[in-house]
């Protein structure tokens, strides 16, 4: 009974959420688009002609935002997004989608084939582990995802490119922040207004890869 009441309360709050209503009105697949929009309006991440990789892309609202921001010319998107997720994502123009686990070598091989010898302008990661409720284990799982994203960035990000990842402001956060500062010349934490106030999620933006020593 208590669980059903919780589910009803969550659904009522979700449906009355101003960002949920706005997402429906503007045709976005989820309210998460406005988190990225707020960060982009502050940091100016996206422009026409870019190659963007969206890790943890489902349901696709971040890719939608990027594609809209890059614009169109002669009926085609002026740029490209490559999205990856364990879950399927409905097709959208301007996006190539790879369904698979970013943590598995098979998926990385397929991603490398899609990229060829191209370098990436922006890497986005809204990935998060399935949380167990055990703080130490959840922090380690989150850090593993960030580590893999940073490894990918060192291989494929343009020198002046940017990486934006989700993490949690709690146990393990300072370790992740330290790794970002070791990897990038500029690091900024971001907590967009569209992020629910009760959520501990926070985004880290790294720009300018440091030279590997």
Read off the pLDDT of residues 129-149 as tens digits, 9 standing for 90 and up.
887 878 888 889 999 999 999
Whole-prediction pTM: 0.91
Q: Is residue 66 part of a domain?
A: yes
**138-141: long-range contacts (C-beta < 8 A, 24 or more apart)?**
138/168, 138/171, 139/168, 139/170, 139/171, 139/172, 139/173, 140/172
pLDDT tens track for 191-203: 998 888 778 899 9
Whether 158 sits among the annotated catalytic residues: the reply is no
> Taking the CA of residue 11 as centre, how many other CA atoms within 13 Å lie in the half-sphere pointing to its CB?
6
CA 188, CA 205: separation in Å to the nearest integer?
5
Within a domain: 5: no
In a domain, 192, yes or no: yes
CA dist., res. 7 & res. 156, Å (int): 42
Q: Is residue 4 part of a domain?
A: no
- pLDDT band at residue 87 using 50, 70 and 90 as cut-offs: very high
Residue 82 belongs to a domain: yes
Range of the domain at 146: 29-209
Which range scores top for mean pLDDT: 53-67, 70-84, 159-173? 53-67
Q: Which of 35, 47, 78, 166 is an active site residue?
A: 166
Q: How far apart are CA 62 and CA 65, in angstroms?
A: 5
Evaluate whether residue 152 is within a structural domain.
Answer: yes
CATH of the domain at 112: 3.40.50.150
User: What distance in Å separates the CA atoms of residue 80 and residue 209, rounded to the nearest whole number?
Assistant: 22
Task: Report if residue 16 sits inside a domain.
Answer: no
Q: Is the peptide bond before 18 cis (omega within 30 degrees of 0)?
A: no
Domain total of the chain: 1
Evaluate whether residue 20 is within a structural domain. Answer: no
């Amino acid at each position: 009974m208590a669980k059903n009441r919780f589910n009803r309360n969550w659904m009522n709050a979700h449906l009355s959420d101003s960002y949920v209503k706005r997402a429906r009105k503007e045709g976005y697949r989820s309210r998460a688009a406005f988190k990225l929009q707020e960060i982009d309006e502050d940091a100016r991440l996206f422009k026409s002609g870019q190659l963007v990789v969206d890790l943890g892309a489902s349901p696709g609202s971040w890719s939608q935002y990027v594609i809209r921001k890059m614009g169109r010319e002669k009926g085609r998107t002026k740029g490209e997004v490559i999205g990856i997720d364990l879950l399927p994502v409905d097709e959208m123009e301007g996006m190539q989608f790879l369904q698979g686990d970013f943590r598995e070598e098979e998926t990385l091989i397929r991603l490398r084939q899609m990229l060829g010898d191209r370098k990436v302008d922006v890497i986005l990661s809204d990935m998060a582990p399935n949380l167990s409720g055990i703080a130490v284990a959840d922090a380690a799982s989150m850090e593993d995802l960030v580590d893999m994203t940073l490894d990918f960035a060192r291989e494929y990000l343009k020198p002046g490119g940017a990486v934006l990842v989700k993490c949690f402001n709690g146990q393990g956060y300072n370790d992740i922040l330290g790794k970002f500062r070791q990897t990038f010349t500029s690091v900024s934490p971001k907590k967009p207004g569209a992020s629910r106030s009760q959520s501990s999620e926070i985004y880290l933006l790294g720009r300018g890869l440091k030279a590997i020593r």
